């Protein structure tokens, strides 16, 4: 049986779409800040940020989904989420660059449909479902499928290298 919190989603804008992510996975929302570039990463992983002494990899969701860069503005945020199971079985924090954060919504399970098998502008394997709203659909992200095993491995290695560089310097 679902609890009230299980049906709460943080909603945000990426491209022309409204996305949502389970509130229990959201750790915090930060004003956009400088991201330190990491060489040889895919374009949708622009780098890392220092969050209270911890190295957090950052993912440009617009680039990942739509293959286009979003120029940060005053509404751009970094949403820190906890991926429940990363490559080594441990939890991993990742920053998601989003164009704007909207609100937290309570969405009853009855209003959530499975992702479509065709016709979406993004790969449906990134989605946990679609929530019907009066204004249209909210695309609900599946954090476990947001990154491939190879991408998670690269992020883990990047995080370790950056942490070592910080402690050595």
Q: Is the pLDDT of residue 1 over 50?
A: no
CA distance 119 to 131: 16
Q: 108 or 69, which is more confident?
A: 108
Summarised one tens digit per residue, pLDDT across range 136-166 is 889 999 888 887 767 777 777 766 766 666 5
pLDDT, the chain, mean: 83
Q: What is the pTM of this model?
A: 0.84
Query: Given this model, what pLDDT does residue 38 score?
Result: 82
Q: Is the pLDDT of residue 19 over 90?
A: yes
3-state secondary structure 80-137: EEEECCCCCCCCEEEEEEECEEEEEEECCHHHEECCCCCCCCCCHHHEEEEEEECCEE
What CATH number does domain 8-164 carry, 2.40.33.10, 3.40.50.1370, 2.10.70.10, 2.40.50.180? 2.40.50.180
Query: Given this model, what pLDDT does residue 143 score?
Result: 85
At residue 3 the predicted structure's pLDDT band, cuts being 50, 70 and 90, is: very low
> Are the beta carbons of 46 and 64 closer than 8 angstroms?
no
Give the start-to-end residue ranges of the domains of the chain: 8-164
Summarised one tens digit per residue, pLDDT across range 84-130 is 766 566 778 999 999 999 999 999 988 999 887 765 566 677 888 99
Q: 145 or 54, which is more confident?
A: 54
């Amino acid at each position: 049986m679902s609890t009230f919190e299980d049906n709460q989603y943080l909603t945000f804008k990426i491209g022309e779409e409204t996305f949502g992510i389970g509130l229990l996975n959201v750790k915090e929302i930060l004003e956009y800040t400088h991201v330190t570039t990491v060489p040889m990463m895919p374009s949708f992983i622009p780098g890392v940020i220092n969050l209270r002494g911890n190295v957090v990899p950052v993912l440009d969701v617009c680039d990942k989904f739509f293959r286009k860069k979003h120029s940060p503005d005053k509404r751009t945020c970094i949403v820190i989420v906890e991926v429940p199971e990363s490559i080594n079985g441990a939890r991993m924090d990742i920053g998601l660059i989003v164009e704007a954060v909207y609100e937290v919504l309570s969405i009853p399970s009855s209003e959530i449909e499975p992702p479509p098998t065709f016709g979406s502008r993004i790969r449906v394997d990134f989605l946990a479902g679609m929530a019907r709203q009066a204004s249209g659909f909210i695309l609900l992200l599946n954090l476990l499928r947001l990154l491939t095993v190879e991408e998670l491995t690269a992020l883990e290695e990047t995080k370790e290298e950056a942490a070592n560089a910080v402690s050595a310097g």
